[in-house]
Structure 1
Amino acid sequence: MSTIASGNWFETPWEKLRPGIERVVFAMEADSMSCTIGRVENGHEVKPHHHPNEQVALVIEGECDYYVDGVPYRLKAGSWVTVPSNVEHYIHVYDSPVPCLQMDIFTPARPEYKDVFTKFLQSQEKK
């Protein structure tokens, strides 16, 4: 059984992934899914990628084009798109009035996200 956890991503340190993109990993206690919140700035470096996890990308604030299998989906607050397993995808933020705040939900869980983010949080505690 999963551990019950609660928190607030605004009160959690944000991990900088590369210029223009940072994230918070949360719900790390869940057994079968992983969740992240990403903050993506206009003009960030685009990085097409794929992974074996299914994904739901949901925009909370701002706007972006989210490419899935070469097709752009224009997303704004409240919009979402699903990404099937092993399908190339990426986010492109280029004219959003505010940074694009986006939630990603992955299944199955991505233990590498938990491991990397746990190490990041531990490094923040030492500062």
Structure 2
Amino acid sequence: MARVESGNWNNLPWQEVREGITRVVFGMGADNINCTLNRVENGNEVNPHSHPDNEQVALLLEGECDYYVDGVAYRLTPGSWVTVPKGVEHYIHVYDSPVPCMQMDIFYPIRPEYIESYSKYLEENK
């Protein structure tokens, strides 16, 4: 039987990913998906990358950004989302947002490296 988890991301510590980006990872007990909430500041360090094995849905909760997928910029505002097929280059660029972007990622299948990194971060920052 799958494990049921519940929580509130407002009670989780923010892990620095790189310049201008911090995150929390939640739903780490799910069998096939995992989620992150990212706080992205204006002038964030962009990081074009792809995931050979993972599909992604990127949702914007607050702020404004350009989210690039396969070289195309999608202007995201609160409530916007974009899908990222596996193996396709993508990145977020925040440069004129009135507030930091709060951006959620949903990955399928799970990203075990995110779970390992965030679990270690939690252990070190009890």
Q: TM-score normalized by structure 2?
A: 0.98
| % identity of equivalent residues | 66
Q: How many residues align?
A: 125
| Inter-partner Cα distance in structure 2 for 1:91 and 1:18 | 13
Alignment match, 1:13:
13
Alpha-carbon deviation of 1:19?
A: 1.7
Residue 60, structure 1, aligned to residue 43, structure 2: no
Alignment match, 2:22:
22
Letter paired with 1:105: I
| Inter-partner Cα distance in structure 2 for 1:34 and 1:7 | 14
Letter paired with 1:10: N
Letter paired with 2:48: P
Is there any run of 5+ residues in structure 2 with no aligned partner, and where?
none
Matches of residues 1-127 of structure 1 in structure 2 within 5 Å? 1-51=1-51, 52-125=53-126
Deviant stretches of 4+, over 2 Å = none
Q: TM-score normalized by structure 1?
A: 0.97
| Inter-partner Cα distance in structure 2 for 1:106 and 1:94 | 25
Letter paired with 2:107: F
| Inter-partner Cα distance in structure 2 for 1:71 and 1:20 | 22
Q: CA RMSD in A?
A: 0.6
